Amino acid sequence: MNWKKAKEMVFDIGADMAGGLLIAIGVYNFAVASGFPVAGISGIAVVFYHFFGIPIGAMTNLLNIPIAIFCYRSLGKQFFLKSIKTMLISNIMLDAVAPLFPVYEGDLMLSCICMGVFSGIGFAMIYARDTSTGGADFIFMAVRKWKPHISLGKLIIVFDFAVVIVGGILMQGDINRIIYGLIATYILSVVVDKVMYGIDAGKLALIVTAHGQEVADKIDELTQRGSTLLKGVGSYTKEEKQVVMCACNNKQMHMVQKAVKEVDEEAFLVTMESSEVRGKGFKPH
């Protein structure tokens, strides 16, 4: 093993430990301490912890064994092995490290928010390293390969909400805590998206104009952003047009709109959200 691979492995393990600890704190020190259910395979393990006192991390590992065996061929060897490593580390954090921290016993809404934020950041740190915590992630990825036409987002929402609702009914039967569990699940998913993509999010402008070069020059003058000129043909008029494509950050979009207006008030401008922008002037590949 060369130095570069050793360094990357150490960094991966460090990211797993940090992400796993944040997930563990969110689950054990906030959700479990406040008595509301959580989503995923960990949510099922929390139910066993509530009734039988089985450590959540150990139960999660046990539940993951048949899932891992079933999904192995669909995941690929490298991703599977990385995920097993991440899963073991995160569950050790859940059983051995999280209990060393004080648990929160205050306002349920604050506990719900903290659970979503802590766990969301933790999951984002793990997903960003091209690995996972196993469990439901394995199931969803296997289903995606088996039935690619199925909406993965809808499947995840249905599964997570079902686990939260059933878990809440079994543990407390308290509708308020079930609602807090659902809110925490939603916050977690939003935080994961924002941490992984929000920092590098931006805008994409498509400008259909007869003065493409002039528009591109004006955009460059006002924002110092380059553009790409594409050729287009109007489907109705059959006239040739130029399409200026420009990626920018959220703050610069106003200046892009101003540049278009100054050069060609008749231009057709489409503004779109881009979850991530990579390349020169943005985040490197």
- Across the chain, which has 285 residues, the per-10-residue mean pLDDT values are 77 92 96 92 92 93 89 80 92 95 93 95 87 83 70 73 92 88 91 72 84 90 85 83 85 84 90 69 55
Which positions ≥6 away from 198 have C-beta within 8 Å? none
Cα of 76 vs its chain's centroid, Å: 21
Which positions ≥6 away from 194 have C-beta within 8 Å? 120
Structure confidence by residue, pLDDT tens digits, 129-175? 878 888 888 887 777 667 666 655 567 778 889 999 999 999 878 89
Residue range(s) in the chain whose domain bears CATH number 3.30.70.120:
202-274
Domain 202-274 carries which CATH code?
A: 3.30.70.120
* Total residues belonging to the chain: 285
For position 18, what pLDDT does the model report? 95
- Degrees, nearest 5: CA angle 82-88-92: 145
Alpha-helix residue ranges (DSSP H) falling in the chain:
3-24, 33-34, 40-52, 56-75, 77-92, 108-127, 136-146, 152-171, 175-193, 212-223, 253-263
